[in-house]
Amino acid sequence: MSLTDTSVRNAKPRAKPYKIYDSGGLFLLITPSGNKWWRLKFRYGGKEKLLSLGVYPEVTLKEARVRRDQEHKNIAFDVDPSMHRKAAKLAKADSHKNTFEIVAREWFEKRSSIWAGTHSEKVIRRLEVDIFPWVGRRPVGEIKAHELLDVIRRIEKRGAIDTAHRALQNCGQILRYAVATGRAERDCTADLRGALSPIKEGHFAAITDPKAIGGLLRAMDAYNGNLVTRCALRFAPLVFVRPGELRNAEWAEIDLKKAEWNIPADRMKMREPHLVPLSRQAIQVLEELKPLTGKGRYVFPSAISSQRPMSENAVLGALRRMGIGKDEMSGHGFRAMARTILDEVLHVRPDYIEHQLAHAVRDPNGRAYNRTAHLPERRKMMQNWADYLDKLRKQK
């Protein structure tokens, strides 16, 4: 006689374990402690065997029958249910040992030994921040192209197009390593060719390697041109504004006591006013220059007339005279330098960086943040950035 929900629920424990039977070899084992275990008795290869199907009430009578019927189908296809169960457990255990993060770190360990230290740091930081939190725990052999694209799109949406392409490239290298070591069937990144926004050609040259930045700063300190140009060179990396915003800076916009530079909307690319917190080092540059240009309108006036700002080629010309080629560094390059180092070395939140770069950043409701958004955090960021540049400047 088949079991019912009532008979299963009302089965009471006895002094010794006992069984109540359903059909097709399914029965319920009731222990003296009151536990109720579903068991399936079956024959395979001429031998009688038992298989556990779960515990009541987590597994109901209906669910136990479904599991029983599935095991009968396995037997019909000459599959031993007990061996199938063991194989499934082993496969699951292997998948946990071969997550994307585990395989990625193994790949990184083997490759990083031949990389420069700064490159290694960038690669592992990129993976830890932008990839592992989303797919790090997934079995490497189960990752699909669409879910990897969703992860890369997160990077792309914050405007870091180059970083998105590099992250996808790293993921492809990791997946190909997984294929080579027998832990994945194929590299799914091959299906994502053309899926990302292209990297803009002709981007502004920038020095982003910390050691090279140190050399650039020392070269700028040693520049023997006029004081206005020397100060502009030293000021540019500290504030990383656009070249036009730098050369048109006016003393009326700068508050040395508050350590702030308020750039009006009509001089900003996005036509929004912009506030630049000034580090101690930036203030020192301005205080050095003020006796010379402080009575005029412009912080960095033209060498020809104090009524005009310095030439747009003044900083570029100084860089070229120092022997720094146009394919190495540009006026805009200080922005790329700051963005890269703040993100990949100093680990500053991307939205703080984007605010300070005067890029369009919106809140969760789609509204543009005002110029003072995250100001305390940005003040700290700008001072840490200036201190970091001093550290690089002193390193040999």
Q: What is the DSSP string of 355-375?
A: HHTT---B-TTSPBPPTTTTH
Strand 36-44, strand 47-56: pairing: antiparallel
pLDDT of residue 270: 64
pLDDT of residue 90: 53
Q: In Å, how far are 104, 141, 193, 292 from 188, measured between CA atoms?
A: 15, 10, 10, 61
Catalytic-labelled residue, pool 18, 21, 369, 388: 369
Exposed (0-12), middle (13-18) or buried (19+): which is 20, by Cβ within 10 Å?
A: middle
- Among residues 310, 313, 284, the alpha carbon closest in space to that of 299 is found at 310
Reply yes or no on whether 359 is catalytic: yes
Catalytic-labelled residue, pool 242, 247, 339, 378: 242
Q: In Å, how far are 10, 30, 151, 157, 211 from 20, measured between CA atoms?
A: 12, 8, 51, 60, 76
Q: Where are the domains of the chain?
A: 5-90, 100-192, 210-394
Task: Print pLDDT tens along the chain (396 aa).
Answer: 688 889 889 999 999 999 999 988 999 999 998 899 999 988 877 788 888 888 998 889 999 999 888 888 877 777 677 776 665 555 455 555 789 999 999 999 888 876 655 567 888 989 998 999 999 999 998 999 999 999 999 988 888 888 899 899 999 999 999 998 888 899 999 899 888 888 664 455 677 787 888 888 888 888 888 899 889 989 989 998 888 888 889 999 999 999 999 988 877 766 678 899 999 999 999 999 999 998 999 999 988 888 888 887 888 888 778 777 666 677 778 888 888 888 888 888 888 888 888 876 655 444 555 667 788 999 999 999 999 999 988 886
SS (H, E, C) 220-262: HHCCCCCHHHHHHHHHHHHHCCCHHHHHCCEHHHEECCCCEEE
Reply yes or no on whether 242 is catalytic: yes
Catalytic-labelled residue, pool 111, 211, 297, 359: 359
Distance CA 51, CA 339 (A): 60
pLDDT of residue 87: 56
Give me the CATH code for the 5-90 domain, please: 3.30.160.390
pLDDT of residue 202: 46
Catalytic-labelled residue, pool 39, 335, 339, 378: 335
Reply yes or no on whether 92 is catalytic: no
Helices (H) and strands (E) in the chain, counts: 16, 7
Q: Which CATH superfamily is domain 100-192 in?
A: Tyrosine recombinase, N-terminal domain (1.10.150.130)
Q: According to the CATH classification, is domain 210-394 in 3.30.70.3040?
A: no
Catalytic-labelled residue, pool 49, 308, 332, 374: 332
pLDDT of residue 222: 83
Catalytic-labelled residue, pool 89, 269, 349, 362: 269
Q: 362 - beta bridge partners?
A: 368
SS3 337: helix
**Model-wide pTM > 0.75:** no
